[in-house]
């Protein structure tokens, strides 16, 4: 089987999410990759160094600047003439592109896979991760999104893939245009690749209190900051901090859940973390059912004490 992996990047740097996708693809067969963008030589070179990559197709063109999915999908469809499976990370970018590719190929997408059982059999979460479905696809061409936390990352060095320039499949179909991007700049690690995450919930009261209590602890630990949906909806932090079923899926070494009850939709995004530490004043809070270490008490006392002790 020949697979094609979507290389996620920000125009200059290859995103880590790609590495887990390469591992998933390598369980299906030979792995090629596609880099689309404008001025993406460095990304293509980084992709060629990933262990296991055979060939990197590079489409460097104005129409792929900002990787508008409407423009990128026809390019991938053209490359799929020589490939049996297309795999993308189940990130916002991957989830924007893969369904369009599936629709253009007239196949069903296999979403958010957790494992490859056979060339045509995969597992994937359903009911917010409460059940794992084993699915078989009879489509000749597979379009797959991969849950990054379920696969080891392929090595980002040591590979020796060849790089091949490809012409754009088509000029911009004119369905969308790039207007602007507001990127949150933070010195903290990115949520989905952080080793330690400090997350706060509704109990943090407001944006100023969240910042005062959670940020210093996160900074001492070199951690990323996450939040429950209740905290995001109440405006304590921007919504790209949200962890859970409708937020980001994370699996860090250590996840601190502070003033978070542990609703099923929150657990769906963090229960695969290696060590879960919960601080909650309610000893019956469901978060304690998944926590490895639980502290029952008032977060406004415990967190400053913890931070001072570090």
- Could you list the residues that contact ligand FAD (CB under 6 A)? 201-203, 228-231, 242-247, 259-261, 263, 265-266, 269, 279-282, 285, 298-300
Q: How far is the C-alpha of 211 from the C-alpha of 275, rounded, in Å?
A: 24
Residue in the shown chain whose Cβ atom is closest to ligand FAD:
244
Q: How far is the C-alpha of 285 from the C-alpha of 132, rounded, in Å?
A: 25
Min CB(265)–ligand FAD separation in Å? 3
Min CB(191)–ligand FAD separation in Å? 12
Q: How far is the C-alpha of 242 from the C-alpha of 110, rounded, in Å?
A: 24
* For ligand FAD, the closer CB: 82 or 233: 233
* For ligand FAD, the closer CB: 159 or 226: 226
Helix (H) or strand (E) holding 75: helix 69-79
* For ligand FAD, the closer CB: 36 or 303: 303
- CA angle centred on 238, ends 273 and 290, rounded to 5°: 20
Contact 9, 40 (CB under 8 A): yes
* For ligand FAD, the closer CB: 68 or 268: 268
Contact 34, 169 (CB under 8 A): no
Min CB(237)–ligand FAD separation in Å? 11
Min CB(114)–ligand FAD separation in Å? 18
Min CB(310)–ligand FAD separation in Å? 19
Q: 30-37 and 53-60: which strand pairing?
A: parallel
Q: How far is the C-alpha of 179 from the C-alpha of 192, rounded, in Å?
A: 26
Q: How far is the C-alpha of 178 from the C-alpha of 281, rounded, in Å?
A: 47
* For ligand FAD, the closer CB: 59 or 278: 278
Min CB(250)–ligand FAD separation in Å? 11
């Amino acid at each position: 089987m020949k697979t094609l992996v979507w290389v996620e990047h920000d125009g200059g740097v290859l995103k880590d999410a790609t590495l887990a996708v390469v591992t998933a693809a390598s369980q299906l067969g030979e792995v090629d990759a596609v880099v689309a963008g404008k001025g993406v030589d460095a990304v293509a070179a980084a992709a060629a160094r990933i262990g296991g990559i055979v060939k990197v197709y590079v489409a460097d063109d104005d129409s792929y600047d900002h990787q508008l999915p409407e423009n990128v999908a026809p390019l991938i469809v053209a490359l799929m003439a020589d490939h049996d499976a297309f795999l993308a990370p189940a990130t916002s970018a991957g989830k924007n592109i893969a369904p369009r590719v599936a629709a253009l190929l007239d196949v069903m997408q296999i979403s958010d896979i957790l494992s490859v059982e056979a060339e045509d059999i995969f597992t994937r979460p359903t009911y917010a991760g409460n059940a794992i479905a084993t699915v078989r696809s009879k489509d000749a061409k597979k379009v797959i999104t991969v849950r990054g936390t379920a696969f080891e990352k392929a090595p980002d060095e040591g590979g020796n893939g060849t790089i091949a320039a490809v012409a754009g499949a088509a000029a911009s179909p004119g369905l969308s245009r790039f207007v602007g991007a507001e990127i949150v700049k933070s010195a903290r690690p990115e949520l989905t690749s952080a080793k330690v995450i400090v997350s706060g919930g509704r109990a943090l009261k407001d944006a100023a209190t969240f910042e005062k209590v959670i940020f210093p602890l996160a900074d001492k630990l070199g951690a990323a900051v996450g939040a429950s949906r209740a905290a995001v909806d109440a405006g304590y932090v921007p919504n790209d901090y949200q962890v859970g079923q409708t937020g980001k899926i994370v699996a860090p070494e250590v996840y601190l859940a502070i003033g978070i009850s542990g609703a099923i939709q929150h657990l769906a995004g963090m229960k695969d973390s290696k060590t879960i530490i919960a601080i909650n004043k309610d000893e019956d809070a469901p978060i304690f059912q998944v926590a490895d270490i639980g502290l029952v008490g008032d977060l406004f006392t415990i967190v400053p004490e913890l931070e001072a002790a570090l």
